A and B are shown apart, each in its own frame.
Chain A
Amino acid sequence: MGDKSEVWQGTLALMVLKTLESMGPQHGYGIARRIEQISGDQLSLNYGTLYPALLKLEQEGFITSEWGLSENNRRARFYRLTRTGRAQLKKEAREWEQATNILARFLSPEEQG
């Protein structure tokens, strides 16, 4: 476990938004599983990281939640992307792309030489 990276808040928010966009309404466990799977189990989300992040997104109005039943008939809270959340996702994804592009160019071997 110790070798799995900690996720920081800003990135996590983006991952949550993207997950909800591609999967539709999903509960906390589902979101966590999905993010961990896509990261190839390089990331591990504990409650203390995941749930405050979900709450923050909800407070900012990017997602909403309601109680419902899971596939196994278990009561769970389902999160859903809102319209502003969708817009936010687009905006943040673009910004992230730009940032990684710049960093990638920066770190490429030609630049170093």
Chain B
Amino acid sequence: MKTIRAFMARFGGLFNGRRRDWEMEQEFASHLAMQVEDNIRSGMNPEEARRVALIKAGGLSSARENYREQRGLPFFETLLQDLRYGARNLRKSPGFTAVAVITLALGIGANTAIFSIINAVLLRPLPYKDQDRLVQLWETEAAPGTYPFAGPDYLDWEKQTKTLAATSVYTWPMGVNASNSGEAQSLVLIQAETNLFSVLGVDPIVGRTFAPDESQPGKDHVVVLTYAVWQKFFGGRQDVIGQKLELDAEPYSVIGIMPRWFKFSRGEVFVPKDMSAKGMHERGSHWLLAIGRLKPEQTVTSAQAELSTIAKNLEHQYPDSNDKIGATVVSLKEQYTGDNRQELFILLGAVALVLLVACANVANLLLARATGRLREIALRAVLGASRWRIVRQLLTESILLSITGAVVGLGAAWWFVSLVQNAKTLPIPRANPIQVDVTVLLFTVLVSVFVGVLFGLAPALQASNLDLGEELKSTAQAVLSPSGWNRWFRDGLVVGEIAVSLTLLAAAGLLLRSFYNLRNAPTGFEGSHVVTFSTLLPQGKYDDLTSRRRFFDRLLEGIHSMPGVDIAAIASELPLEGGTNGYIKVDGDTDPAHRQMLVEQNYVTPDYFATLGIPFFSGSNFSPADMDREGAAEQKVEELYKQNPNLKSVPAELSSIAIINRVMAKTFWPNQDPVGKTYRNGGRTFRIIGVVGDVTVGSVRGEPMPEAYYPYTRALVGPIAFGHLLIKTHNDPTAILPSARAQLRTLDSSLALFNPRTMPEVVADSMQDETLQTWLLGSFAGLTLLLAAVGLYSVLSYLVLQRSREIGIRMALGAQRTDVLRMVMRQAGTLTALGIGLGLFGALSGARVIQSMCFGLTARDPLTFAGVVVLLAGVSLLASYVPVRRAMRVDPMVALRYE
């Protein structure tokens, strides 16, 4: 209590110093006057009285000093004084200050930016209530990986679980045509069990979320909007509740608006999911996602154990559909961050290295400067400053420098973060917004203070450790010749910088080459002149095969007749964007591996192969007659299933035809011609009529997967009529989009054109992760290269300046300019070679860290390393150029007169 009070009083004493000084003087003066009066009264003459009183008072200036020290907080006062002094000093050498501040701003800014991502993605808890109890639920299959839920399985889990307090099921995000009077626009819709928001523990900012009975038909036309959709469609109006939003041509009442930060599975509008048996589909069809909330005393492990048991029971109960179907529970946080953890830490490591190099550079500058300031420091030491006091002064100056750098760097980070925020799609899954918040600011402050000490300590210690007499006596020349330790230290810094930049360059080079490999990896199709968009038919308006077919036929026809169009097709899946898949059975095939082999399914029009330039290896394409027959057959199959949901197999006359890819042919019918062979899938029998080339379905990184193509008309039967249009043109494919949009609108004005992109853009979209990583790491590496070059340049310039007298003498004694050249180049070469050697050692031994990010080459790729070494050597040669020229121009007469 007493100390706090005293502290506050002393803290107050920091301010208003002038008035307090005046009071002190007044008090001293009145003391002195009273003393003089008393002395006179005791018989002294006035002069004597005053003299004695002054002696009694003691040293007045030291009394003032003591008093002031007691009045305020000496620590802070010194700090303020040092700051003022430091600021003045930095202002005096604007060139040095600018270089140092920019260097530090780059380093600290890059760190702040990356940390703001890490903070949002890894550090901050998910913005949901008791987020550590939220889990993502998955099913597992025979093939490795996690899989979506089959509706009935989910209902069983939900009913039986005792470890989860609540579960909620929702669909993958899907496109929807949305409008509230005006043109239809595409939005991302999620159908969710009515309790989704309460399981997440998020409240709407306006209105309410779903009531439990709103999953029932008749009551289910209600919609919850994200903040962005509210702004876009309703201008953020408060009276939005009860307003209508048309989704796929059906009116929905807006009931609630989610908070601005709310992000969930890319959804923009949320509607209640039909939870009836029909709405959940059959048991073998895996298409739903689910989350759960653990009961307080339960853990991910206990939930995992329980759900595995439930899945085992279902396996026994429904051997046909649930064979090898298991369960996986992942904490939601893990689900969001799992894949990105390593990449983010690699990026953080990279920016930390950038900062380290920036520090080394500034330390180097400070060392050079401190040497120039030795006389000033010596003078201060002579006047009584302790060594600690001098170190403190110099450290305050360097921290001032780093804080200034941090402020500028924060500006840069802010810009970067706003760039990230505005990026339409970012390959970083996150529930938290990426922003510069208090944690990030704190991080920046800590980093900048730490950095200030890091680069300031060595120069400060070195500067304060001097022989006073020598320094004051010495000439400028002597002052300029630093101790051996200083030389070593500065050389060491440059070697370190070169080593670090080599490491980063190698990493960036590997990623760049991997990226190049990815971009040039065979995808199996030729899409340079192909543009694609998607369209989705509302169920209500287009409820049968005939109406849907009529729509798509007319759309294709219209597009075909547009000028510039070569050929066009419709497919249910696009290359590189994943797809739907299933298991097939080949009669007589007993290989167990084949039973775990997923086969991708794509429903296409016959021209699909020609549009994407996919070659036929044997057999034939679908004919127009095939399209008609298959559509009709699928409709009959659908009717049969309606009559008997447990139908085991479809009559032979309704069997289908398929075109398969080469991987599928080689996998299931090795060394045979598969044309004419049959296989079964989901009760239907398929006859193979052709074999085509492999097209990459998922990531380019993966092996090609077995894929089967079916006539598109089959996909038009069923709940969703969705299609990707692919249009091949003679010229610029994007030029066709406006007329394609017009074509769509003339057919039906309630339809939106979804996701228009060229195929090269589709390829680029599939590599967003890699693009971002390569871009970031590449710029970090470029930054360190630049910093290292500046570092080498400054060390060499300094060397030349130091030794210009020696050079002058040598030249006066007959040394050639080439000798001088050799001398400086030897220095540059030694430093570069040492740095490269050290960097190679570090990079090669740390290579496995980024092995998983490499594609088409190992992390010790010799070509990359050779290239990086050559690049670094070249850059350091360039950095030595100016100092070398300066050395060669040394005029012996001037150098000798330098004294």
Contact = CB atoms under 8 A, between A and B. Distances in A.
Interface of A: 1, 27-29, 32-33, 44, 46-49, 51-52, 55-56, 58-61, 70, 72, 74-77
B422 interface: no
Contact of B34 (A51, A59, A72): A72
Contacts of B65: 48
B772 interface: no
Contacts of A46: 56-59, 63
A61 B2 contact: yes
Given A47-B28, A51-B67, A1 B33 contact: no
B6 interface: yes
Interface in B11-28: 13, 23-24, 26-28
B30 A70 contact: yes
B897 interface: no
Interface in B762-785: none
Contacts of A61: 2, 5-6
Contacts of A27: 30-31, 34
B387 interface: no
Nearest 4 CB-CB pairings of A with B: A46-B58, A48-B63, A59-B9, A47-B63
Contacts of A48: 58-59, 62-63, 65-67
B58 A55 contact: no
B71 interface: yes
Contacts of A56: 6, 70
B5 A51 contact: no
Contact of B67 (A1, A33, A52, A76): A52
B60 interface: yes
Of B28, B34, B37, B59, most A-chain CB atoms within 10 Å? B34
A14 to B, nearest CB: 15
Given A59-B9, A76-B34, 16 more contacts: A29-B30, A47-B28, A47-B31, A48-B63, A48-B65, A49-B58, A51-B24, A51-B66, A55-B71, A58-B9, A70-B34, A72-B37, A76-B31, A77-B26, A77-B27, A77-B30
Given A48-B67, A59-B9, A60-B6, A29 B31 contact: yes
Contacts of B2: 60-61
A76 B27 CA distance: 6
B648 to A, nearest CB: 92
Contacts of B438: none
Interface string B58-86: 11101101110111000000000000000
B35 interface: yes
Given A52-B67, A77-B27, A59 B58 contact: no
14 contacts: A29-B34, A44-B56, A47-B58, A47-B63, A48-B59, A51-B24, A51-B67, A52-B66, A52-B67, A55-B71, A56-B70, A59-B70, A72-B37, A74-B34
A76 to B, nearest CB: 5
A83 to B, nearest CB: 14
Interface string B852-896: 000000000000000000000000000000000000000000000
B55 interface: yes
Contacts of B13: 59
A58 B70 CA distance: 11
Interface in B260-319: none
Interface in B511-532: none
B414 to A, nearest CB: 42
B30 A1 contact: no
A28 B70 CA distance: 16
A55 B67 contact: yes
A44 B57 CA distance: 9
A28 B56 contact: no
B549 interface: no
A97 B419 CA distance: 73
A46 B59 CA distance: 8
Given A59-B9, A60-B2, A60-B5, A28 B31 contact: yes
B416 to A, nearest CB: 48
Contacts of A28: 27, 31
B31 A75 contact: no
Nearest to A48: B63
B334 to A, nearest CB: 55
Nearest to B13: A59
A51 B69 CA distance: 11
Nearest to B30: A76
B208 interface: no
Given A49-B58, A52-B69, A59 B27 contact: no
B486 to A, nearest CB: 42
A33 B37 CA distance: 13
B27 A51 contact: yes
A32 B69 CA distance: 21
A63 to B, nearest CB: 12
A74 B34 CA distance: 8
A51 B63 contact: yes
A63 B65 CA distance: 22
Given A28-B31, A51-B27, A52-B69, A59 B6 contact: yes
Contacts of B30: 27, 29, 70, 74-77
Nearest to A47: B63
A59 B24 CA distance: 15
Contacts of B59: 46, 48
A5 B59 CA distance: 17
Nearest to A84: B2
B50 interface: no
A23 B640 CA distance: 113
B585 interface: no
Contacts of A55: 67, 70-71
Nearest to B1: A61
B10 interface: yes
Contacts of B26: 75, 77
Interface in B402-457: none
A55 B64 CA distance: 12
Contacts of A74: 30, 33-34
A77 B403 CA distance: 44
B20 to A, nearest CB: 10
Nearest to B33: A74
B49 to A, nearest CB: 14
A33 B41 CA distance: 15
Interface in B522-558: none
B462 to A, nearest CB: 37
B30 to A, nearest CB: 5
B44 to A, nearest CB: 16
